[in-house]
Amino acid sequence: MEQIMKKLEILAESAKYDVSCSSSGVKRQNNGTIGSTTAAGICHTWAADGRCISLLKVLFTNNCAYNCEYCVNRRDNDFPRASFEPEELAKLTYEFYRRNYIEGLFISSAVEVSPDYTAERILKAIRILRYDYQFAGYIHAKIIPGVSQEILHEIGLVADRLSVNIEMPNSESLNKFAPQKKPKQIFTPMKQITNTLIERGALVGPGTMFKGQNVNVAGNLVGLQAIKGSRDLTVPIRRKRDGKDFAPAGQTTQMIIGAGGESDASILTTSENLYRTFKMKRVYYSAYVPVVKSPILPDLKSAPPLQREHRMYQADWLLRFYGFTTSELFKNKDENLDPDMDPKVAWAIKNLDRFPIEINRASYMELMRIPGVGDTSAKRILRARKLAPVGYDDLKKMGVVMKRAKYFLTCCGKYYGDRKFLPETIRNAMLGMENGLQMSMFDTHQNLLTAASQVQLFDNNWKRLEQGAALEKLSIAGVI
Amino acid sequence: MDYLYDGTFEGLLTCIHHHYYTAKATGIYTKESYQMNLLGDFLEVETDEAKASIVYDAMEEKISHFAVRCMYKTFLSNVADKEMKILRFAVMGFRTGPKFTYMHGNDIVIAIETAVRQVGNEAERMRQFVRFSQMDGGVLYGEIEPEHDVLELLPSHFCDRFKNEPFIIRDVGRNKAIVALKGQWYITDFGEGDMPDYSTDEVGYRRLWKKYFDHIAIKERINPRCQAGHVPLKYRKHLVEFQLQTDDFERTI
């Protein structure tokens, strides 16, 4: 027990920077002796950093042959090393699962010896768990770039979800930070997973992005030009049936935010491409936590860009569930999201010509475009207005966030935003600005600014203050 | 007139029957909680299976199965004045028909929706937070202390998951428990004296889990407020990973 304790400590410590921990995407009744999975997944607890713990997330080994710049397990890092035995790990998962501590296993690994050697060890561990322990719970296996097709396929037949980490949003930064990984090594397994899912008629796709379409068609096969040329691309693929599920919960990936100098636009464009090409379930983002000293990386003392990560996730949801595209979010050659507000609000303010939207007439997709209205409240509005027109007070009761929504909608023709319908006034109201002076000026970010830029910031705000006063006068005089 | 009933769902359905055929109800209370009132009149409603099933069938037929489920979940909650909320909901349902549950802006519907959401959320929390311990003889034993009476919403999930293992989930506050084996389960009274003994390797796994829990958090991102939003303090008493010292394990065992 003492020995396992030591290994668990080291290998959990090494695995904690992997973001994905979801146990969702597949509903399965107990077809073994123990375990089941639910479609939405179950989180069993939340760690001190507020991230959920759903799966037992460990590395198989942290003994790495690679030397990726950003990684805590890089070869040059002086750090305690350990490896699990396949049987040991299976037993530990089983015992935790019985006690309802976890929903299953998330198994990743450093590259020990070679990708194939490591993948075979992972395969052995999850086979023991699946077949010897008859475990029907969730298994998420990480695919090491460069692994052979056959082993990947075997892992897919045992695991529920597969993921290949892309880590860097473009090939330049990959080349810079992880010189031993090649883009081709990353995209080949991704391609294989998506194509196998299509062949089995089991591809689902991200969120509601492809809702109502059959994605299991020849045209969606990735990178097979010969087939694309010779067939009708919209014809559903004839299913291969061998009675086995291949990764029924699909595939995901992960990108690091803030290690290289990429803009939000380039990161989200990469995400959108991953969603459209590979039909991935999720792309995860992880704010870079400086763990290793390196001349090309952010300083060890710098804080992880949590706010930026948060905005990326908000934008990601807009892509998957709200019918947005990246090009809509970055319209006027903006390179980054507005750090001060929700990307949906920022988009709405830039596109005021599409608002206000009449609650009692708009379609579901139009309702979803209103800031403060989400899936639940949009559906409630659709149901309620079948019986009677929906009024302003009803919206609040239905869970619409009125402090955001009121500027962008009308109820039975009446507009309730108590301001001028102008981008600047709405923006100010959203940010809680008094007379144009921005409150976030007093934020903690302030500490990082140099004296010179503080003056600059103050000047800008001062100008805004003057503008605000001028506008107010004009509005009192009834000019605007 | 105030109604007093015995605290069972059938009793409440009988009250609804009386509301239509005897006198209009102004309040429905359980016998224990009723504060005697000098001015008001009250009626002790005797639970009547026949009347209850008439009301139940009428609701299934004239309102909807969904609405009946909502009423039952509200009945399991401990929100204030739940009996009258259910009565008003039923009366409105009989008057307007099945689609009235779409009226998401109506106060009577909202009252039920809120209670249903609270009960559903807590049941989900219990599915997340039950921590089983291995007992002698192979039984899995877990303790919970929910605010609402969600115990009976749990077994369908766990019976499938542990279809070969006997397990007990005990509601500490209400002194009752689910006892389940091979997909079959029942609810029974369960006190301190009924507990089996812990098995010998239990402490070891609790220590391992606590160790894992402490090491999976990223130090640079520590965020107690976010954590408390997901794991409210009131549930932490029965969670292995939130016990401060590992010695606590031995003390409880």
Mean pLDDT of all residues in B191-209: 86
Does the pLDDT of residue B237 top 60, yes or no?
A: yes
B1 near A CB under 8 A: no
Does the pLDDT of residue A474 top 70, yes or no?
A: no
pLDDT of residue A74: 86
Does the pLDDT of residue A440 top 50, yes or no?
A: no
Are A99 and B133 a contacting pair at CB < 8 A?
A: yes
Inter-residue contact B89 to B70 (CB < 8 Å): yes
Are B221 and A49 a contacting pair at CB < 8 A?
A: yes
**Span B6-36, pLDDT tens digits:** 999 999 999 999 999 988 988 899 988 877 7
pLDDT of residue A450: 42
* Whole-Å CA distances, A332 to A141, A327, A347, B207: 40, 9, 11, 55
A3, closest residue in chain B (CA to CA): B208
Residues A280 and A270 placed together within one structural domain of the fold: yes
Task: Nearest by CB to A36, from B110, B161, B226: name it.
Answer: B161
Residues A142 and A55 placed together within one structural domain of the fold: yes
Task: Nearest by CB to B215, from A9, A36, A52: name it.
Answer: A9
Residue of B212, B231, B233, B238 to mutate when probing chain A, most A C-beta within 10 A: B212
Q: What is the mean pLDDT of chain A?
A: 85
Task: Nearest by CB to A384, from B103, B142, B165: name it.
Answer: B103
Task: Nearest by CB to A12, from B110, B215, B219: name it.
Answer: B215
B161, closest residue in chain A (CA to CA): A35
pLDDT of residue A476: 52
pLDDT of residue A417: 85
Are B128 and A42 a contacting pair at CB < 8 A?
A: yes
Dihedrals phi, psi of B180, to nearest 5 degrees? -135, 145
Host domain of residue A240: 172-245+254-293+302-339
* Most confident among A94-98, A108-112, A169-173, A213-217 (mean pLDDT): A94-98
**Span A150-162, pLDDT tens digits:** 999 999 999 999 9
A137, closest residue in chain B (CA to CA): B161
Residues A321 and A367 placed together within one structural domain of the fold: no
Are A49 and B241 a contacting pair at CB < 8 A?
A: no
Are B220 and A16 a contacting pair at CB < 8 A?
A: no
pLDDT of residue A461: 44
- Assign 3-class secondary structure to chain B: CEEEECCCHHHHHHHHHHHHHCCCCCEEEECCCCCCCCCCCEEECCCCHHHHHHHHHHHHHHCCHHHHHHHHHHHHCCCCCHHHHHHHHHHHHHHHCHHHHHCCCCHHHHHHHHHHHHHHHHHHHHHHHCCEEEEHHHCEEEEECCCCCCHHHCHHHHHHHCCCCCEEEEECCCCEEEEEECCEEEEEECCHHHCCCECCCHHHHHHHHHHHHHHHCCHHHCCHHHHHHHCCHHHHHHCHHHCCCCHHHHHHC
Domains contained in chain A, number = 3
Structure-block tokens of residue A377: 């409240």
A15, closest residue in chain B (CA to CA): B216
Q: What is the ipTM of this complex?
A: 0.92
Chain A residue numbers with beta carbons less than 8 Å from the beta carbon of B204 are 1
How far from the centroid of its chain's Cα atoms is residue B23's Cα? 31
Omega of the bond prior to B232 within 30 degrees of 0, cis?
no
**Span B126-154, pLDDT tens digits:** 999 999 999 988 899 999 999 999 999 99
Are A386 and B133 a contacting pair at CB < 8 A?
A: no
B198 near A CB under 8 A: no
Residues A386 and A465 placed together within one structural domain of the fold: yes
pLDDT of residue A463: 45
Are A383 and B104 a contacting pair at CB < 8 A?
A: yes
Residue of B100, B164, B218, B237 to mutate when probing chain A, most A C-beta within 10 A: B218
Dihedrals phi, psi of A224, to nearest 5 degrees? -115, 80
B239 near A CB under 8 A: yes
Does the pLDDT of residue A344 top 80, yes or no?
A: yes
- Of A134, A163, A192, the last residue of a domain is A163
Task: Nearest by CB to B208, from A5, A16, A393: name it.
Answer: A5
Does the pLDDT of residue A466 top 80, yes or no?
A: no
Are A35 and B131 a contacting pair at CB < 8 A?
A: no
Residues A50 and A112 placed together within one structural domain of the fold: yes
Task: Nearest by CB to A30, from B102, B142, B161: name it.
Answer: B161
pLDDT of residue A230: 55
Structure-block tokens of residue A34: 């123990």
DSSP secondary structure, A8-53, as one string: HHHHHHHHTT-------S--B---SSB--B-TT----EE-TTS-EE
Instruction: pLDDT band for B246, please (50, 70, 90 cuts).
Output: low
B164, closest residue in chain A (CA to CA): A33
Are A5 and B211 a contacting pair at CB < 8 A?
A: yes
- B124, with CB counted inside 10 A (0-12, 13-18, 19+), is middle
Are A397 and B134 a contacting pair at CB < 8 A?
A: no
Candidates B170, B169, B214, B207; CA nearest to A45 is B214
pLDDT of residue A199: 86
Q: Give the number of A-B residue pairs with CB atoms closer than 8 Å.
A: 149
Residue of A27, A29, A49 to mutate when probing chain B, most B C-beta within 10 A: A49
Window from A57-71, A75-89, A270-284, A451-465 with minimum mean pLDDT: A451-465
Does the pLDDT of residue B47 top 70, yes or no?
A: yes
Does the pLDDT of residue A448 top 70, yes or no?
A: no
pLDDT of residue A292: 79
**Span A385-406, pLDDT tens digits:** 999 999 999 999 999 999 899 9
Does the pLDDT of residue B165 top 60, yes or no?
A: yes
Mean pLDDT of all residues in B50-71: 95
Residue of B101, B132, B161 to mutate when probing chain A, most A C-beta within 10 A: B161
Put simply, the chain B residues between 205 and 234 with a CB less than 8 A from any chain A CB are: 205, 207-209, 211-227, 229-231
Instruction: pLDDT band for A438, please (50, 70, 90 cuts).
Output: very low
- Of A130, A163, A196, the last residue of a domain is A163
**Span A160-218, pLDDT tens digits:** 999 999 888 888 888 888 888 888 889 999 999 999 998 888 888 898 998 888 888 87
Question: What pTM was estimated for this model as a whole?
Answer: 0.87
Q: Closest approach of chain B CAs to the CA of A291, in angstroms?
A: 10
Residues A210 and A142 placed together within one structural domain of the fold: no
Are B134 and A43 a contacting pair at CB < 8 A?
A: no
B124, closest residue in chain A (CA to CA): A42
**What percent of chain B shows pLDDT beyond 70?**
95
Residues A153 and A176 placed together within one structural domain of the fold: no
Q: Closest approach of chain A CAs to the CA of B127, in angstroms?
A: 8
Q: What is the mean pLDDT of chain B?
A: 91
Are A1 and B208 a contacting pair at CB < 8 A?
A: yes
Q: Closest approach of chain B CAs to the CA of A389, in angstroms?
A: 10
Residues A114 and A259 placed together within one structural domain of the fold: no
Residues A332 and A374 placed together within one structural domain of the fold: no
**What percent of chain A shows pLDDT beyond 90?**
51
pLDDT of residue B1: 84
Instruction: pLDDT band for A289, please (50, 70, 90 cuts).
Output: confident
* Whole-Å CA distances, A239 to A70, A235, B182: 42, 12, 36
Residues A345 and A335 placed together within one structural domain of the fold: no
Task: Nearest by CB to B102, from A8, A16, A387: name it.
Answer: A387
Chain B residue numbers with beta carbons less than 8 Å from the beta carbon of A36 are 157, 160-161
Are B230 and A98 a contacting pair at CB < 8 A?
A: no
Scanning A285-336, the segments in alpha helix (DSSP H) are 306-321, 326-329
B138, closest residue in chain A (CA to CA): A98
* Whole-Å CA distances, A402 to A184, A260, A430: 47, 38, 11
- Of A163, A184, A200, the last residue of a domain is A163
Residues A269 and A357 placed together within one structural domain of the fold: no
Window from A98-107, A333-342, B169-178 with minimum mean pLDDT: A333-342
Q: Closest approach of chain B CAs to the CA of A452, in angstroms?
A: 29
Residues A326 and A351 placed together within one structural domain of the fold: no
Does the pLDDT of residue A479 top 60, yes or no?
A: no
Are B224 and A48 a contacting pair at CB < 8 A?
A: yes
